[in-house]
Amino acid sequence: MSASIKSDNQTAAVTLDKADLENFPVAPGFLPAAWRDDLMAVYGFARLIDDAGDGDLADPAAVAQLLDVPGRPADDGFRLALLDGLERDLDRAFATALGDDRAQGGTVLGTAAGEPRHPLMRRLVPLIEQHAVTPEPFRRLIEANRVDQTTTRYPTYDDLLHYCTLSADPVGRLVLALAGRATPERIELSDAICTALQLVEHLQDVAEDLDRGRIYLPQEDLATFGVTEQDLAAPAASREVRQLIAWEASRARTLLDRGAPLVGTVHGRLRLLLAGFTAGGYAALDAIAAAGFDVLAHRAKPDKRRLAGRAAALFAKGR
């Protein structure tokens, strides 16, 4: 194995290992190996894009060189340029898999010629070949990270929900597409679950996001509960912050309740998988509540036994 290929494999492994940190099982062992590979390919893409947008890549300069992206990580606009380079690599993955201009619905970028360069993009090629997926959900995930470079505050809850249509909902749509079970009704339920999962993650990561200069709590809600940005920077949550987090948690729970019937519309292993995703959201919300809604002192993590119990209940009841 050449040093370059070995390095590429190590790069992919570092990113994929982050799946263990998620609130829900990304590709559990009860699924067939091919299905797990597909889910991990989607996860690897989403994690790669998030890491590029957040500045969390282990070696951003090396990725930039791989993709022919000019500039240095410290330069203004570097992350946007890197996201552009990753989108071109996505184009390569679709062009390689489909073999014609269907890769972009009739328009292939001239700069996207050749096979994908990043190892995690190469993992998408067999997925695209075998399933009826389009570039749109992948592009939405990239666009969400572009938004993160320019938008650090969300005036209203509706503004935040719109962001989630880019950052979260595409993942659920991809899961349904991979399973061949995408219908308008299921997509609507899936969007509710995925948006809820994104909101829950925002609640868990208030302190971390603030360190990055971002606040994913609606500004109108901060004003309603009398919470300032200085309050969010405190080592522990004040009464007002706890009340705010409790309110946002109730909104996320309502969305989970709205989307949970998705579980009952499918059967077998897909049903168990969707039950696990949904249960991860409920378990994380339970952990936030158990911490007294103090998300500043430490990150509330879902209890695995509680998650498993909730998943079993969802699987049995179908909601």
**Number of other residues whose CB lies within 10 A of the CB of residue 153:** 15
Averaged confidence pLDDT in the chain: 91
Q: Provide the pLDDT confidence category of residue 110 given band limits of 50, 70 and 90.
A: very low
Six token digits for residue 171: 């993942």
Lowest mean pLDDT among 33-37, 109-113, 130-134, 261-265: 109-113
* pLDDT for the residue numbered 7: 52
Residue type at 193 in one-letter notation: I
pLDDT digits (tens, 9 = 90+) for 119-158: 999 999 999 999 999 999 999 999 999 999 999 999 999 9
- Provide mean pLDDT across the span 76-103: 90
- Provide mean pLDDT across the span 59-78: 96
Q: Provide the pLDDT confidence category of residue 27 given band limits of 50, 70 and 90.
A: confident
Q: What angle do CA 119, 29, 39 make, to 5 degrees?
A: 35
Residue (of 276, 264, 258, 256) closest to 318 by Cα position: 264
* pLDDT for the residue numbered 106: 41
Task: Please tell me what DSSP assigns to residue 297.
Answer: S
| Number of helical (H) and strand (E) elements in the chain, helices listed first | 16, 0
Q: Provide the pLDDT confidence category of residue 304 given band limits of 50, 70 and 90.
A: confident
- Provide mean pLDDT across the span 41-62: 95
What percent of the chain has pLDDT above 90?
Answer: 82
Six token digits for residue 155: 């005036």
Q: Provide the pLDDT confidence category of residue 65 given band limits of 50, 70 and 90.
A: very high
pLDDT at position 8 over 90: no
Higher pLDDT, 269 or 15: 269
